[in-house]
Amino acid sequence: MRKMNRRDFLKNISLGTAGLTLVATPALAGESQGKITGEKLPGKIRKVKETYSICCFCGCGCGLLLYSNEEDRLVFCEGYPDHPVNAGTICPKGNGIIEGNTVINKKRNRESNRRRVTKPLYRAPGSSKWEEKSWDWVMAEIAQRVKKTRDESFVEKDEHGVTVNRTTAMAHVGAAALDNEEIYLLHKMYRALGMLNIEHCARL
């Protein structure tokens, strides 16, 4: 008999791949292996949503399926079976990706990774601590500093009288962890400000 693979399984239960609802708690598969008795299972059944993603680590660009629960937390991740590069498999780092979002606590439940930064933070000159701030506040404060630094350093014409419209007092690094659309906006913003010092880790 032909061995049933995951895709056949999905076909057989007549489900599409978008917005798919599975009844399982794959994250707990290890625990339940070999001792599913029936009475323990129902309490752990969750509805999970499946989302296609691309791994956020190395440059292989592997396809992933991420499963999130009703509490909007990621609970499981696996390689996307139809992706030409990884064909359903996944490396340890890729497997750990969801821990950026949720981790397993001591009671073996999923909870948010508490190490995430969840509010804008500000550290004043000479201070030894962070202060939580609102988005409006940080955006306005940063905008004022950008304007001050730009305007104080802005050069409209160089020593040969050539129109240059530039500032070299601000710098940026980083982009390889962002999406293309984000980087494009970033590049436009910086060139509009007249910045020359734009770099990222392709140089490292």
Partner 1 sequence: MTNHFVDYRNADVILIIGSNTAENHPMGMKWAMKAKEKGAQLIAVDPRVSKSASMCHVHARLRPGTDIAFINGMMNYIIENDLWFKDYVLNYTNASFLIHPDYQCEDGVFSGFTDIDGKLSYDTATWQYQMDGDVIKKDPTLQDPNCVFQILKKHVSRYDIKTVCQITGTSEDTYRKVCEMYASSGKRDKAGCVIYGMGITMHSVGTQNARALCILQLLLGNMGIPGGGVNAQRGEQNVQGSTDMAMLHGNLPGYLGMVYANKHKTLAEYIEKETPTGYWSNKPKFLISQLKAWYGDKATPENDFCYDWLPKHDGKNRSYMSLFNYMDTGEVKGFFVAGQNPSVGGPSTIQANQAMENLEWLVVYDIFEIETAAFWKRPGADPSKIKTEVFLLPAAMSFEKEGSVTNAGRWMQWRYKAVNPPGEAKSDLWMFYNLFNTIRKEYQKGGKFPDPVLNMVWDYDLPGEEEPDIAKVAKEINGYEVATGNVLSGFAKLAADGSTACGNWVLSGYWFEDKDAKVPACKRRINKDPSGMGVFPQYAFSWPANRRIAYNRCSADPAGNPWNPQKPYARWDALAGKWVIPDVPDFKATEPAPNPSDPPIPVPPEKSAVDAYIMSEDGHGRLFAVKGLSDGPLPEHYEPYESPFRNLISQQQNNPMALTFKTGLFSKIAEIGSEKYPCVAITVHLVEHYQSGATTRNCPSLAEISAHMFVNISPSLAQKIGVKNGDDVIVESVRGQITCKAAVNGVCVPLMVNGKETEVISMPYSWGFMGIATGASANDLTPSVGDPNSNIPEYKAFLCNVRKANKS
Binding to partner 1 (CB under 8 A) within 3-42 occurs at none
Work out how close the CB of 42 gets to partner 1 at its nearest, in angstroms, rounded to a whole number.
Answer: 25
In the chain the first and final C-alpha atoms are separated, in Å, by 52
Is residue 179 at the binding interface for partner 1, with CB under 8 A as the rule?
A: yes
Residue among 16, 92, 106, 107 that touches partner 1 (CB under 8 A): 92
Is residue 193 at the binding interface for partner 1, with CB under 8 A as the rule?
A: yes
Residue among 20, 22, 51, 78 that touches partner 1 (CB under 8 A): 51
Calculate Rg over the CA atoms of the chain.
24
Residue among 40, 44, 47, 123 that touches partner 1 (CB under 8 A): 123
Q: Taking a C-beta distance cutoff of 8 angstroms, is the pair 77, 66 a contact?
A: yes
Nearest to 5 by CA among 62, 79, 60: 79
Q: Taking a C-beta distance cutoff of 8 angstroms, is the pair 22, 97 a contact?
A: no
Is residue 178 at the binding interface for partner 1, with CB under 8 A as the rule?
A: yes
**Segment interacting with partner 1 (CB under 8 A) among 8-16, 24-32, 39-47, 50-58:** 50-58
Say what the alpha-carbon torsion angle 120, 126, 128, 132 is, to the nearest 10 degrees. -20
Task: Record the tokens describing residue 26, joined without a space.
Answer: 């794959």
Binders of partner 1 in range 56-85 (CB under 8 A): 56-63, 66, 68, 72-74, 82-85
